[in-house]
Amino acid sequence: MSLSTTDRTTVTRHRERARTERADLHAVLDAGLVCHLGLVRDGAPVVIPTGYGRIDDTVYVHGSTGAGWLRIADGAPVCLTVTHLDGIVYARSVFNHSMNYRSAVVHGPVRHVTDRDEQLAALRAIVEQLSPGSWEHAREPDRRELAATAVFALDLTEASVKVRTGPPADDEADVAAGDRWAGVLPVRTVFGAPEPCPTLPADAPAPAHVADRRPE
């Protein structure tokens, strides 16, 4: 299924980088750990890093009901962006330097989640996005914790996906000059060895969902 096209999801620069399949959008979102959520406060933009989770064509974020950035009205416009930096593109010219990346930008009105079942499913999706296996392993939220947690939904109705891959695009004259290196330095996210909480024995083995975890 294709992504719908609106003015603000139409890629105007480097159209060849646009991806138009819904599966591409899901893939970029599902591979991420942090999103950057934009909202408007007093006419000015605010961009906050936060965790998120996806269920079908809805993405969820959450926060403490005491957090200032959550003072956002039901239905207010937000923008949720997820970016993966895959490589630094070194060109013969400064001008053609670039990045290899995958990014998804989702626009739409935020919806306050008030249904208890949806709230719980959303929290599960958020936790499983950040730390797959934790919902089963850890203690589930109790009534007090759920009451302290606000959950917001954003439909994946209006979104754009951009992907750049491959080598630099140098000018012919710069390639012909032959005197400069060009190429890509891959960038990857990796996990280190799990560090047990100091309240545990130092040799307490991490469970498989942590110890065997690999980046998407």
Q: Please give the Cα distance from 138 to 125 (Å, whole number).
A: 14
Name which of 155, 154, 157, 151 is nearest 122 in CA terms: 151
Binding of a second copy at residue 6 (CB under 8 A)?
no
- In this structure, the number of other CB atoms found within 10 A of the CB of residue 137 comes to 11
Cβ–Cβ under 8 Å, residues 165 and 100 = yes
Among 17, 20, 22, 93, contact with a second copy (rule: CB under 8 A): 93
Task: List binders of a second copy among 162-201 (CB under 8 A).
Answer: 167-168, 170, 174-175, 180-200
Name which of 87, 102, 79 is nearest 32 in CA terms: 102
CB of 92 to a second copy, least distance (A): 6
Tell me the sheet residues that pair with 78.
Answer: 39, 108
Task: List binders of a second copy among 109-148 (CB under 8 A).
Answer: 123, 127, 130-131, 134-135, 137-142, 145
Total interface residues for a second copy by CB under 8 A = 91
Binding of a second copy at residue 34 (CB under 8 A)?
yes
Binding of a second copy at residue 73 (CB under 8 A)?
no
Binding of a second copy at residue 213 (CB under 8 A)?
yes
